């Protein structure tokens, strides 16, 4: 994995928003790389800065946002220094985005066909007929039946899942290298969600594109991701391969996230591992570790000093003082341990039956 | 599950809720809820799951009479409530059945303080003797749902999403209801807050012996919270069983596809997952009328006679 080409590098990114009540520190020092052909999942609650980070990559931040510090390297160029004109060149054709709500990201009074071909025609180098042909082919590729007929229809004539397929077709219209999916299935039903996830995976394999997948649903992450970054209060608190994060998590926040929702094995008598309190107000980012007030394993130092990223393995890093050599040894909570053991049992069973 | 009539808090018989739009030739009838029956016993949590548009929310709203049911009977504590009710009867029904809504922002009046929101039910139903008694009840209820006394004088906008949902729960429980209808109570909340509210509901269920109709789209949450689960598809209950039974021995193809679609936080399992897609056209109901049949004790399934033979082989 390390030898893979890095298509995108984000270095020490700080973003703030000017609001009437003060400066909101939305992103506070985010670092990550995106390799070619991989899926990186960014997990976090609302307000953790995951969407803001990705809006910065696309250059679609709101006007009151400031990039305080840091760089986003793409093809050797720093995207944070780009102006609107330069962004227009790469948006769609090199970096593309799928949004959460398929109802509001489509124009209700524009035919589907026009919405898909719009970006191709703006980029030039293509005639209308070619664009139409390409669009119909794309619609077929994202699983829309009778694309020729559907080409002439309006968004209201499509169901939620079909609309999300159209949004994906639009995002793919100019053959991007990087696809950013911002909670693409949150507004959909489980059965439809499964179809859309399969579709994104298939497209990724076929076109060898890199995907950044933003979500708060750990089940979806387990299904989609090669690598995972867990964000909390504007920072990445743990990053690693999907197996490392799910089977050997190190950060207390990741522990709680994994054990906080019931899965189908959870008995009704088991109590869920609750994270007490609420996320911090980013108007006044806390001193020390932002998760400390909600962390049952917090030590004195957590309230004073921010933990650096400790190395667990070459691919696995976590920002918690618990990994410091002189910290007391604390294992993950029992509820989570039992859950992971159950998963491993199931895996053994599965291998036997195969 | 013996569905005896005596200790049933809620009995729904052949409930139908149709919506019409347009007139004459253009008239369209949507059968949101189409002939469903179930019983909820005292102290039981009954879960309704299904995808959006399957009629689960409509079921809840028809029971509490936010809609006028098109047909069928709803019995609450043995009394028929799906008929025209007098003012007094209506009051006793609305005291006895309370609802927790999905959106904690939209369901609380922004111009009322928490005290007024929670106290409203007490005043309307004459459940308190005087102001002091009312405040005492409100303070107790705030404590029960994990809030504090000084929250009483604040307005909803001063609270976070999870706290607002706690206010919604307090408002529902203050009248000491016999049945609580919880319509997607956690799906609008953040992940870390969802667990808090789910734990609170679970704790209250045990402590107060609540009877709950729990409506949600997330099968793993419903399975965790409910004793019995009804799976809805297209306005009908297609399968109904104890939650463990439904999870271990799902029979209806729709239930199977629903179970196979839930993403699990287990990467190895996800890599080998085989999804089952449900195709409603596999049912051929031209000749035989399907009905809800008890195929195992307490396990009901919506199927025609020949299908039941097929399902029986699977058991």
* Per-residue pLDDT tens over the stretch B132-188: 999 999 999 999 898 888 899 999 998 888 899 999 999 999 999 999 999 989 888
**Interface probe, candidates B250, B265, B270, B277, chain A, greatest A C-beta count within 10 A:** B265
CA distance B280 to A307: 54
Residue in this structure with the two tokens 């890095």, named with its chain if needed: A6
CA distance B314 to B233: 22
Please tell me which of the candidates A243, A247, A274 has its beta carbon nearest to residue B199.
A274
Q: What's the whole-model pTM score? A: 0.85
**Interface probe, candidates B105, B147, B192, B226, chain A, greatest A C-beta count within 10 A:** B192
The token pair that represents A272 in the structure block:
């869920």
pLDDT of residue B280 exceeding 90: no
B188 neighbors B22 (Cβ within 8 angstroms): no
- Domains annotated for chain B, with CATH where assigned, are 8-314 (3.40.50.300)
Instruction: Tell me which H or E stretch contains A28.
Output: strand A22-35
A346 touches chain B (CB under 8 A): yes
Please tell me which of the candidates B191, B217, B258 has its beta carbon nearest to residue A260.
B191
Q: pLDDT, tens digit, for every residue of A67-124?
A: 999 999 998 889 999 888 888 888 888 999 998 887 788 999 999 999 999 988 988 7
In A64-123, the residues whose Cβ lies within 8 Å of chain B are none
| H helix intervals, chain A | 50-58, 84-90, 112-123, 128-141, 147-150, 160-172, 190-207, 218-224, 242-247, 252-260, 334-353
Nearest Cα to Cα of residue A189 among B225, B263, B244, B273: B263
Q: What is the mean pLDDT of residues A147-158?
A: 92
Q: What is the mean pLDDT of residues A295-316?
A: 91
Q: How far is CA B188 from CA A116, A135, A262, B218, B291, in A?
A: 31, 36, 17, 12, 35
**A72 CA: distance to closest CA in chain B (Å):** 29
pLDDT at B37: 92
pLDDT of residue A350 exceeding 90: no
* DSSP, residue by residue, chain B: ----STTEEEEEEEEEEEEEES-GGG-EEEEEEEEEEEEEETT-EEEEE--TTSSHHHHHHHHTTSS--SEEEEEETTEE-SS---HHHHHHHHHHEEEE-S-TTTTS-TTS-HHHHHHHHHHHTT--SSHHHHHHHHHHHHHHTT--GGGTTS-GGGS-HHHHHHHHHHHHHTT--SEEEEESTTTTS-HHHHHHHHHHHHHHHHHHT--EEEE-S-HHHHHHH-SEEEEEETTEEEEEEEHHHHHHS--SHHHHHHHHHS--S-HHHHHT-------GGG---SSS--EEEEEETTEEEEE-HHHHHHHHHH-
pLDDT of residue A16 exceeding 70: yes
The token pair that represents B2 in the structure block:
């013996």
Report the residue of chain A nearest B270, measured CA to CA.
Answer: A223
Phi-psi region of A34 (alpha: psi -120 to 50; beta: other; left: phi over 0): beta
B238 neighbors B253 (Cβ within 8 angstroms): no
Q: What is the mean pLDDT of residues A11-16?
A: 94
Classify burial at B137, counting beta carbons within 10 Å of its beta carbon; exposed 0-12, middle 13-18, buried 19 or more. Answer: middle
Q: What is the mean pLDDT of residues B189-196?
A: 83
**A90 CA: distance to closest CA in chain B (Å):** 33
The token pair that represents B155 in the structure block:
């307005």
Determine, for residues B263 and A246 on separate chains, whether the beta-carbon distance falls below 8 Å: no
CA distance A118 to A44: 33
* DSSP, residue by residue, A173-202: TT--SEEEEESTTTTS-HHHHHHHHHHHHH
pLDDT of residue A55 exceeding 80: yes
Which range is least confidently modeled, A268-272, B18-22, B67-71, B189-193?
A268-272
Determine, for residues B269 and A350 on separate chains, whether the beta-carbon distance falls below 8 Å: yes
**Interface probe, candidates B186, B268, B278, chain A, greatest A C-beta count within 10 A:** B268
**Interface probe, candidates B191, B226, B233, chain A, greatest A C-beta count within 10 A:** B191
Please tell me which of the candidates B195, B220, B243 has its beta carbon nearest to residue A263.
B220
Determine, for residues A262 and B247 on separate chains, whether the beta-carbon distance falls below 8 Å: no
A35 neighbors A52 (Cβ within 8 angstroms): no
Q: Categorize the per-residue pLDDT at B6 as very low, low, confident or very high, splitting at 50, 70 and 90.
A: low
Determine, for residues A272 and B199 on separate chains, whether the beta-carbon distance falls below 8 Å: yes
- Domains annotated for chain A, with CATH where assigned, are 1-94+178-192+205-354 (3.40.50.300), 106-175 (no CATH)
**B176 CA: distance to closest CA in chain A (Å):** 24
Report the length, in residues, of chain A. 354
The token pair that represents B147 in the structure block:
């809030």
Q: What is the mean pLDDT of residues A12-40?
A: 92
Q: Which residues of A touch B277 (CB under 8 A)?
A: 191
Q: How far is CA B227 from CA A94, A263, B43, B211, B295, in A?
A: 51, 16, 10, 11, 19
Q: pLDDT, tens digit, for every residue of B77-133?
A: 988 988 888 888 888 888 999 999 988 888 999 999 999 999 999 998 888 888 999
B80 neighbors B73 (Cβ within 8 angstroms): yes
Determine, for residues B192 and A218 on separate chains, whether the beta-carbon distance falls below 8 Å: no
Nearest Cα to Cα of residue A288 among A222, A217, A233: A233
CA distance A166 to A157: 12
Q: Rounding to the nearest 10 degrees, give the CA dihedral for residues A209, A213, A217, A219.
A: 20
Q: What is the mean pLDDT of residues A169-178?
A: 91
Q: What is the mean pLDDT of residues B234-253?
A: 91
CA distance A72 to A288: 26
Determine, for residues B265 and A45 on separate chains, whether the beta-carbon distance falls below 8 Å: no
pLDDT at B2: 44
Determine, for residues A223 and B263 on separate chains, whether the beta-carbon distance falls below 8 Å: yes
The backbone torsions φ and ψ at residue B33, rounded to the nearest 5 degrees and listed phi first, read -125, 125
Q: Categorize the per-residue pLDDT at B1 as very low, low, confident or very high, splitting at 50, 70 and 90.
A: very low
Report the residue of chain A nearest B203, measured CA to CA.
Answer: A271
Residue in this structure with the two tokens 């994994």, named with its chain if needed: A258
Classify burial at B185, counting beta carbons within 10 Å of its beta carbon; exposed 0-12, middle 13-18, buried 19 or more. Answer: buried
**Interface probe, candidates A202, A263, A335, A342, chain B, greatest B C-beta count within 10 A:** A263
In A215-244, the residues whose Cβ lies within 8 Å of chain B are 216-223, 225, 242-243
Q: Categorize the per-residue pLDDT at B5 as very low, low, confident or very high, splitting at 50, 70 and 90.
A: low
Q: Which residues of B touch A242 (CB under 8 A)?
A: 267
Which range is least confidently modeled, A228-232, B67-71, B129-133, B259-263?
B259-263
**B311 CA: distance to closest CA in chain A (Å):** 23
CA distance A278 to A291: 10
A192 neighbors A160 (Cβ within 8 angstroms): yes
ipTM for this prediction: 0.79
Q: pLDDT, tens digit, for every residue of A250-269?
A: 999 999 888 888 887 777 77
Report CA B126 to chain centroid distance, whole Å.
27
Report the residue of chain A nearest B187, measured CA to CA.
Answer: A186
pLDDT at A3: 60
The token pair that represents A99 in the structure block:
């949004």
């Amino acid at each position: 994995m390390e030898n893979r080409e890095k298509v995108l590098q984000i270095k020490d990114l700080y973003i703030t928003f000017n609001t009437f009540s003060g400066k909101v520190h939305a992103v506070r020092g985010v670092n990550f790389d995106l390799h070619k052909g991989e899926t990186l999942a960014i997990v976090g609650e609302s307000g953790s800065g995951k969407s803001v980070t990705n809006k910065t990559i696309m250059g679609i931040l709101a006007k009151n946002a400031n990039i305080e510090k840091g760089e986003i390297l793409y093809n050797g160029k720093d995207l944070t220094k780009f102006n609107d004109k330069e962004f227009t060149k790469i948006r769609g054709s090199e970096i593309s985005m799928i949004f959460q709500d398929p109802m509001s990201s489509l124009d209700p009074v524009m035919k589907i066909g026009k919405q898909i071909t719009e970006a191709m025609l703006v980029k030039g180098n293509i005639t209308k007929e070619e664009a139409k042909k390409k669009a119909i082919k794309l619609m077929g590729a994202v699983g829309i039946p009778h694309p020729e007929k559907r080409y002439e229809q309006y968004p209201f004539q499509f169901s939620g899942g079909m609309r999300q397929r159209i949004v994906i077709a639009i995002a793919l219209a100019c053959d991007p290298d990087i696809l950013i999916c911002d909670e693409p299935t949150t507004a959909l039903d489980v059965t439809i969600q499964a179809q859309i996830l399969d579709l994104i995976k298939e497209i990724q394999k076929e076109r060898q594109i890199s995907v950044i997948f933003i979500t708060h649903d750990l089940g979806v992450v387990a299904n989609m991701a090669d690598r995972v970054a867990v964000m909390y209060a504007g920072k990445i608190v743990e990053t690693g391969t999907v197996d490392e994060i799910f089977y050997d998590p190190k950060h207390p926040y990741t522990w709680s996230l994994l054990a906080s929702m019931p899965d189908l094995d959870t008995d009704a008598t088991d109590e869920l591992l609750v994270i007490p309190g609420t996320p911090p107000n980013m108007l006044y980012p806390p001193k020390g570790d932002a998760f400390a007030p909600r962390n049952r394993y917090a030590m004195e130092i957590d309230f004073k000093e921010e933990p650096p990223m400790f190395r667990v393995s070459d691919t696995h890093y976590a920002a918690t003082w618990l990994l410091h050599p002189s910290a007391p040894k604390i294992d993950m909570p029992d509820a989570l341990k039992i859950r992971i053991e159950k998963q491993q049992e199931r895996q053994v069973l599965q291998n036997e039956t195969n | 599950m013996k569905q005896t009539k005596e200790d049933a808090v809620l009995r729904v018989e052949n409930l139908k809720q149709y919506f019409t739009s347009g007139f004459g030739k253009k008239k369209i009838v949507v059968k949101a809820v189409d002939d469903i029956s179930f019983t909820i016993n005292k102290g039981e949590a009954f879960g309704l799951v299904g995808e959006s548009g399957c009629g689960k929310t409509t079921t809840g709203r028809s029971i509490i009479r936010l809609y006028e049911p098109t047909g069928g009977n709803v019995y609450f504590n043995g009394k028929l409530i799906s008929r025209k009710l007098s003012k007094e009867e209506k009051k006793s029904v609305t005291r006895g059945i309370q609802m927790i809504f999905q959106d904690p922002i939209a369901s609380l009046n922004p111009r009322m303080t928490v005290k007024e929101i929670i106290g409203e039910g007490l005043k309307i139903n004459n459940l308190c003797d005087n102001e002091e008694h009312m405040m005492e009840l409100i303070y107790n209820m705030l404590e029960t749902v994990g809030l504090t006394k000084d929250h009483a004088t604040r307005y909803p906008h001063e609270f976070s999403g999870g706290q607002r949902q706690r206010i919604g729960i307090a408002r529902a429980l203050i009248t000491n209801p016999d049945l609580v209808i919880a319509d997607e109570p956690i799906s609008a909340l953040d992940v870390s807050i969802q667990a808090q509210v789910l734990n609170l509901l679970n704790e209250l269920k045990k402590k107060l012996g609540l009877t709950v109709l729990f409506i949600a789209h997330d099968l793993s949450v419903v399975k965790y919270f409910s004793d019995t689960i009804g799976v809805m598809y297209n306005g009908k209950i297609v399968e109904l069983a104890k939650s463990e039974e439904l999870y271990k021995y799902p029979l209806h193809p729709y239930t199977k596809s629903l179970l196979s679609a839930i993403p699990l936080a287990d990467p190895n399992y996800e890599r080998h997952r085989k999804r089952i897609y449900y195709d409603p056209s596999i049912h051929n109901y031209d000749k035989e009328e399907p009905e809800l049949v008890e195929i195992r004790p307490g396990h009901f399934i919506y199927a025609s006679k020949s299908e039941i033979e097929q399902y029986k082989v699977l058991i």
